[in-house]
Amino acid sequence: MTQRKNPLILTIDDEENIRDSFRLFLEDFEYDVIEASNGREGIQKIKQDRPDLVLCDLRMPDIDGLEVLQFIKDQGQEIPIIVVSGTGIIGDAIEAIRRGAWNYLLKPIQDMSVLLHAISQALERSRLLSENKAYQEHLEEEVSRRTEALQKTMQELNQSHQKVKDNEEKYRLIFENLQDVYFEFLLDGTIYEISPSISLFSLYQREKILGENISTIFPSTQKRERLMSMLRREGSVTDYEIYLQDSDGTLIPCSLNARYQETAGKNPDKICGTMRDITERKQAEARIEYLAYFDALTELPNRRLLLDRLEQNISRARRHGHYGAMLFLDLDRFKNINDSLGHPIGDALLKEVSKRLTIDLRTEDTVSRLGGDEFVLLLSDLGTDPVNAAAIAQQKAENIQERLAQKYQISEHVLHVTPSIGVAMFPSGEGGTESGNDILRYADTAMYRAKDDGRDTIRFFLPSMQSAADERLAIEKELRYAMEKNELSLFFQPQVEQSGAIIGAETLLRWRHPEKGFISPTIFIPVAEATGLILPIGHWVLKTACKYLKKWTDDGLPVKHLAVNVSPRQFRHPDFVHQVHAIFEETGADPSLLGLELTEGMVIDNVVDTIEKMQALKQLGIELSIDDFGTGYSSLAYLKQMPLDILKIDQSFVRDIASDANDAAIVDTIISMAAHLELKVIAEGVETEFELTFLAGKGCKMFQGYHFSRPVPDAEFTKQLQKGKVF
């Protein structure tokens, strides 16, 4: 079978968008991905392609995920399979594990690094199991071969004196050069013969151990007696594990293959066989067992061990009437460090974070790494007073926040990270029946609230947060189908001169839900960004906008500039520039008429990568602008380095220029600075004649806002283009 360059992963899911999102994500990490839309097709691909790992949904038409698991189990195939299912029913998870699933993840997956970690761990475990099996088979074959050679030699020695003389040299060479140890024990335990290879893995020498009792090397009376009993009863043993005690007291795990040999005449009966050191095999087995409960990178307990301890803590807390807490923390902007400095630096940082989290850790508490940059601290036995228990949890969270915020020296890099921390108390109420997974979900929800509230923040879980999280999940599920159901559309807000003459437009995404009506972009765009749906949606927006641009120019309409907002996740995708170029090739749109709007935070996160991509986009002929300039990071130091064309004055400054002298001064400064840097300026959010007059008086020549036009559908904007102006 041809050796694969990259691991082959099969995704079995009846939802195409989920398969697409998995494929796009996994291919970024050099995995080859094949897909099946149902269980029957998945089984066929398993037979045909023999994937290295399977991601499988449970609920599918015709043949469901449990039947796929059963097929793999019945066929005796050792393919790791991870269930990624939207059902959170514990019975489904138990049945899936019973049928051979290696892991069980709930979809939608909020943090794809959790999936990446589960895949990496499963492939590593599969590799270790495969190597261990091959190693054992090799050793067994070698022992069998050599034992048969010895037995054949001894039979030949007994047949004829001449053959004994002929084979004496051959026997001596085999005996002295065995890698495994050949032995002969008398029934009273005397070591009658043993090969020199005993010194290959122990301190014993053949000459000094001959004549000793086997209790010298096998100190366990129980193990010796069981060995002799099996030999008398069955005549032979295979792979009998026993510890050999070295002369310095070290215990060495060994495996014996032995048989009871009756001899003719006055010669005593003997036990003959071979022995091998299985230290490496035991270490491999121990490593596999360790990885089932501990994180390979940080050596902290993993999710499986954490949930086990959490369930015990919840039961004990209910029984004794005291409280505990779960602190769920995520490192703010850790992905930027990973992307810019590389995974080795990111991994080293995660190790340092894990060390700081275990400082002053009580024996009854647990620190766990769930995957990626997510850690959990389980606090036990915080007393019977819920207010005091919450105060202790708050203090612990603040201590962690302060400790993690101190600088890190990783190689030649000085790094800074802050945590967003969510706290969930348990039990959560009178007679609460929450499971460990529920408490973990509550803490996770609180952590996301901490991120939404500005990062580097601590938030306690409230039921209202879960309601918001459930609503967010519902939005995500419906958003996955919005494109294929044609619920998404583009609106256009004209960009004009002071006279109202149209010079371009900003493209705005709108979602008309068949039941809920228009859903605000402020609601669904953050969900799309967090889940990765922004990648296919952003691609669709850019491609659709270019189609409109091509149509308008072919119709001779005077559109000089069409701006499209680019999300941070979309811009950071390694193939973004290539995707943009492919869209121009496909649609035939003129790149010089397209503008891409970036945010300040986006361009500051990774300045070197940002400038490289911006220069590549400029080579295509695209105009680049900074949206909402002045509202986020101070990017003045980088403006000269970046190939920008336009600055957009945020509407928050424009709105208050009549009443706030500071905002008026900021607007004046931005316009002056742009003129000095030879950049164009567009003021957005212009709603009154006063604002228009003020901005024009300061030198601004392009405007956008309700004073001219609200965002309108494509048909209405086409009419505006035909007129050439909005009024």
587 vs 387, higher pLDDT: 587
Residue 504 pLDDT greater than 60, yes or no: yes
Mean pLDDT of 303-326: 90
Q: Please give the pLDDT value at position 2.
A: 58
Residue 177 pLDDT greater than 70, yes or no: no
Nearest to 668, CA basis, from 695, 638, 687: 695
Is residue 313 within 8 A of residue 380, CB to CB? The reply is yes
Rounded to two decimals, the pTM is: 0.50
Length of the chain: 727
Q: What tokens appear for 542 in the block? A: 């850019």
Strand order in the sheet with 374-379: 366-371, 374-379, 324-331, 419-426, 458-460
Backbone angles phi, psi at 549, to 5 degrees: -60, -45
Is residue 475 within 8 A of residue 524, CB to CB? The reply is yes
Average pLDDT along the chain: 86
In order of 66, 105, 286, 402, the CA distances from 97 in angstroms are 10, 12, 21, 40
- Strand ranges (DSSP E) for 416-498? 419-426, 458-460, 488-496
Mean pLDDT of 683-690: 93
pLDDT in tens, 137-166: 888 787 778 777 777 766 765 665 555 554
Model confidence band, residue 246 (pLDDT cutoffs 50, 70, 90): very high
Torsion of CA 287, 289, 293, 295, to 10 degrees: 20
Torsion of CA 254, 259, 263, 269, to 10 degrees: 50
pLDDT in tens, 655-676: 888 888 888 888 898 898 888 8
CB-based burial, 124-145: b 16+ in 10 Å, e otherwise: ebbeeeeebeeeeeebeeebee
Residue 32 pLDDT greater than 70, yes or no: yes
Is residue 36 within 8 A of residue 10, CB to CB? The reply is yes
Mean pLDDT of 538-549: 96
Please state, in angstroms and rounded to a whole number, the distance separating the CA atoms of residues 692 and 227.
Answer: 97
Residue 607 pLDDT greater than 60, yes or no: yes
- Amino acid of residue 35: E
Beta-strand relationship, 53-56 and 8-12 = parallel
Backbone angles phi, psi at 448, to 5 degrees: -65, -35
Q: Please give the pLDDT value at position 552.
A: 95
Model confidence band, residue 358 (pLDDT cutoffs 50, 70, 90): very high
Q: Please give the pLDDT value at position 166.
A: 46
Mean pLDDT of 175-181: 65
pLDDT in tens, 516-542: 899 989 889 888 887 788 999 999 999
Is residue 688 within 8 A of residue 656, CB to CB? The reply is no
Provide the β-strand partners of residue 657: none
Residue 706 pLDDT greater than 70, yes or no: yes
Q: Please give the pLDDT value at position 250.
A: 92
- Amino acid of residue 322: H
Residue 466 pLDDT greater than 70, yes or no: no
Q: Please give the pLDDT value at position 587.
A: 95
Alpha helices in 555-688 (DSSP H): 568-572, 576-587, 600-605, 607-619, 636-639, 651-655, 661-676
Nearest to 262, CA basis, from 272, 252, 253: 272
Domains of the chain: 8-110 (3.40.50.2300), 140-283 (3.30.450.20), 299-461 (3.30.70.270), 491-508+529-723 (3.20.20.450)
Residues of the chain with pLDDT > 90, as a percent, come to: 38
626 vs 161, higher pLDDT: 626
Residues of the chain with pLDDT > 70, as a percent, come to: 91
Please state, in angstroms and rounded to a whole number, the distance separating the CA atoms of residues 138 and 475.
Answer: 55
Residue 112 pLDDT greater than 90, yes or no: no
Q: Please give the pLDDT value at position 605.
A: 63
Is residue 511 within 8 A of residue 482, CB to CB? The reply is yes
What angle separates helix 436-452 from helix 303-320, to the nearest 10 degrees?
110
